[in-house]
Chain A
Amino acid sequence: MKKVEFGILGLFLFLIIFCPFFLNQVRVRLMTEVIYFGLFAVSLNLILGYGGLLSFGHSAYFGLGAYVTALALLHIKGLDLISVVLLGGLAAALVGSFFSLFLIRVSGTYFAMLTMAFGQLLYAVALKWRSVTRGDDGIGNFPRPDLHIPLLGRVDMMDASNFYWFTLAIVGAMVFFAWYIITRTSLGISIILLRENEERARFLGHRTSLTRFWLFTFSSFLAGISGSLFGIFQELVTATSIDILRSTDPILMVVIGGMRHFWGPLLGTLVYVVAGDWLSGITVRWEFIIGCFFIVLVLFLRGGLISLILDLENRFMKIIGVNAKEPLP
């Protein structure tokens, strides 16, 4: 049955990679949003799904990545695209690691409160430090450099399809990186163990604080990367990239997709952004529908949409006579 699964996965990848060929410019831009928000949702899910903690200020790192990118492009001449994106991620990771020193000490509701405090602190700074961030007006008019690929030469990044592929490549690499760390390294095992039973993890000799520290830092790095892509894509970075709504967005995406599964957030982002776009064309009050849907999911389907899909798949397998797979970790 593996063949069927790989087939479906391959088709999905094919669609994602080649969609600029059969979608118009507006749709390609929408898909670009799905891709970088997807990374944001994955980074949040590292904390929510794998860390078992609700961060209520994740936009701090997203916004930080966006601001650092915008400022770097504005003030440093001749910077190439990939190092700008990495710079955004590293800046977010640096601040994230500092905040983590405090965050590793708390859990549950207190964790949510403290992340909210840090997020709001950065928001207030972004809003009020006008000489650097230009407050409400935001930073615009920064150049979007072209990408230089060895052998291929210069690629025009103002082209929507090219930028889509660039975003896809960066996000793809980062998501793979995250997936590798979670599923293939001892840090990943330690993270999951911590979520399931912290006391036992400590008895077994895991340095729980250190594990958390790296988890938070890594998550803020990914959020910074996605914020950086957002900044380059939007060509305007304002304080809204760092406010509280920007923190609830990925929470909605993760819960809709399913927080206990690595690919859940990506599915959730796709549904959230595409459905949001579609619904907002039909009704002004589309957030009402999303909100109700979210509440229904929290009440009745905590595994999110992906658990529904996997459940259906298992049933289908049973019908055609193949044993159900093991339940997900």
Chain B
Amino acid sequence: MISFIHGLVYGILMFLIASGLTIVFGMMGVLNLAHASFYMFGGYFGATLLSLTNNFWLSLIFAPILTAATGSLTERFLIRPIHSAGPIFELLLTIGLSLVMLEIVKCGWGTEPQPMPIPTVLSGSVKILGSPYPVYRLFMFGLGLAVILGLTIILTKTNLGMIVRAAISDAEMVSSLGVNTPLTFNFVFALGAGLAGIAGVIAGPLLMIYPGMAAAIGMSAFVVVAIGGLGSLSGAVLSSFLIGQLQSFGVLLVPQFSLVLIFLLMAIVLGMKPQGLFGEKG
């Protein structure tokens, strides 16, 4: 049972990262290999703001905003000029970007882990079915769930969400209907970066803030997106849940091979159905 909740929490964290990745791909056709670096930036911004203001909530609000701003600038000055050159060059660019972002973090903050304590309000534990469970993980789960709900509402109920969903299915048509698609793209890219930033801040106290954090979680995020289907948000929800559980129970039952299992699953799904479980035919 505890493993199941662990898996849920991890799955939610996965989803926060994977959702941005998959929406950006769905709309712009860009698989952002540097996406996990925004998660890392979020964590570092959060840790710095926390040490400056000593207020977890402030850093939870402003670190993702800073990350989103970084994402917006990245889209405007790096991704957009390269878009016409095709997917290969976009992939290449984001590879370079992830390298540079990693080095920026190492230059700016050094290579040693940054401290990020759990706020005192959330540091206790509650009893679930008779066994104690840390409140902070439950808080992560709740926040993640709230973000999913918020995202769903934005996507399905608002004008902006309508444009985004339309652009996912046919960006060119939306653009010719008079919508400023470059602006929408920019917004969506920033949103994705912001979501990854939120994940970075809330993961900080649990998984530590260190230069390897992007690589540690980035690969799982790609697995989630690949299995769920590039561009599919519901696919990302399901496969985050799946990978979260697989990770959690895999470590418990077959510690030797949990990593192998995850990549085997990815290889099988992609080998059989390249566009992923819920992806549209690309």
The chain A residues found within 8 Å of chain B, CB to CB, are 48, 52-54, 56, 102, 105-106, 108-110, 112-114, 116-118, 120-121, 123-125, 127-128, 130, 244, 248, 251-252, 255, 285, 287-288, 290-292, 294-295, 298-299, 302
Q: Can you show 20 pairs from A to B with CB atoms below 8 A apart? A: A52-B88, A108-B88, A109-B31, A113-B274, A117-B270, A120-B263, A121-B264, A123-B263, A124-B263, A128-B259, A128-B260, A285-B106, A288-B104, A291-B96, A292-B100, A298-B82, A299-B78, A299-B82, A299-B93, A302-B89
- A109 contacts which chain B residues (CB < 8 A)? 25, 29, 31, 87, 91, 230, 282
B267 and A117 within 8 A (CB)? yes
- A294 contacts which chain B residues (CB < 8 A)? 92, 95-96, 99
A295 and B93 within 8 A (CB)? yes
- B219 contacts which chain A residues (CB < 8 A)? 120, 244
Q: Which residue of A lies closest to B272 (CB)?
A: A102
What would 8 more interface pairs be, CB under 8 Å, given A54-B91, A251-B95? Answer: A109-B31, A110-B230, A113-B31, A117-B270, A291-B97, A291-B99, A292-B96, A295-B93
- A295 contacts which chain B residues (CB < 8 A)? 78, 93, 96-97, 100
Q: Which residue of A lies closest to B270 (CB)?
A: A114
- A117 contacts which chain B residues (CB < 8 A)? 223, 226, 263, 266-267, 270
- B29 contacts which chain A residues (CB < 8 A)? 109
A300 CB to nearest B CB, Å: 9
A298 and B92 within 8 A (CB)? yes
Bound together, the chains give a CA A292 to CA B104 distance in angstroms of 11
Which of A102, A287, A299 touches B81 (beta carbons < 8 Å)?
A299
A291 and B91 within 8 A (CB)? no
B78 and A302 within 8 A (CB)? no
A288 and B93 within 8 A (CB)? no
Q: Which residue of B lies closest to A248 (CB)?
A: B95
A291 and B259 within 8 A (CB)? no
A285 and B103 within 8 A (CB)? yes
Mark contacts of B60-96 with chain A using CB atoms, 8 A cut-off: 1 yes-contact digit, 0 otherwise: 0000000000000000001001100101110111011
Q: Which residue of B lies closest to A130 (CB)?
A: B256
Bound together, the chains give a CA A291 to CA B93 distance in angstroms of 10
- B226 contacts which chain A residues (CB < 8 A)? 113, 117
- A112 contacts which chain B residues (CB < 8 A)? 31, 91
- B262 contacts which chain A residues (CB < 8 A)? 124
A110 and B275 within 8 A (CB)? yes
- B271 contacts which chain A residues (CB < 8 A)? 102, 114
- A121 contacts which chain B residues (CB < 8 A)? 260, 263-264, 266-267
- B275 contacts which chain A residues (CB < 8 A)? 110
A197 CB to nearest B CB, Å: 14
A127 and B274 within 8 A (CB)? no
Bound together, the chains give a CA A127 to CA B263 distance in angstroms of 13
Bound together, the chains give a CA A56 to CA B33 distance in angstroms of 11
- B259 contacts which chain A residues (CB < 8 A)? 124, 127-128
Q: Which residue of A lies closest to B107 (CB)?
A: A285
Given A112-B91, A114-B274, A295-B93, CB of A302 within 8 Å of CB of B260? no
- B91 contacts which chain A residues (CB < 8 A)? 54, 56, 109, 112
The chain B residues found within 8 Å of chain A, CB to CB, are 25, 29, 31, 78, 81-82, 85, 87-89, 91-93, 95-97, 99-100, 102-104, 106-107, 215, 219, 222-223, 226, 230, 256-257, 259-260, 262-264, 266-267, 270-271, 274-275, 282
By secondary structure, the A interface counts as helix
Which of B88, B93, B267 touches A114 (beta carbons < 8 Å)?
B267
Bound together, the chains give a CA A52 to CA B92 distance in angstroms of 13
Bound together, the chains give a CA A277 to CA B215 distance in angstroms of 24
Bound together, the chains give a CA A237 to CA B279 distance in angstroms of 38
Bound together, the chains give a CA A53 to CA B256 distance in angstroms of 33
- A120 contacts which chain B residues (CB < 8 A)? 219, 263, 266
- B97 contacts which chain A residues (CB < 8 A)? 291, 295
A99 CB to nearest B CB, Å: 9
B208 CB to nearest A CB, Å: 20
- A290 contacts which chain B residues (CB < 8 A)? 99
Given A287-B103, A292-B100, CB of A128 within 8 Å of CB of B81? no
Bound together, the chains give a CA A291 to CA B85 distance in angstroms of 19
Bound together, the chains give a CA A299 to CA B90 distance in angstroms of 10
Which of B87, B99, B222 touches A287 (beta carbons < 8 Å)?
B99
Bound together, the chains give a CA A118 to CA B67 distance in angstroms of 32
B274 and A251 within 8 A (CB)? no
Closest A-B pairs by Cβ, 4 of them: A288-B103, A291-B99, A291-B100, A121-B263
B223 CB to nearest A CB, Å: 8
- B107 contacts which chain A residues (CB < 8 A)? 285, 288
- A298 contacts which chain B residues (CB < 8 A)? 82, 89, 92-93, 96
Bound together, the chains give a CA A217 to CA B264 distance in angstroms of 21
Q: Which residue of A lies closest to B95 (CB)?
A: A248
A108 and B96 within 8 A (CB)? no
- B267 contacts which chain A residues (CB < 8 A)? 114, 117-118, 121
Which of B99, B264, B274 touches A106 (beta carbons < 8 Å)?
B274
A325 CB to nearest B CB, Å: 25
- A105 contacts which chain B residues (CB < 8 A)? 274
A280 CB to nearest B CB, Å: 13
B90 CB to nearest A CB, Å: 9
A125 and B230 within 8 A (CB)? no
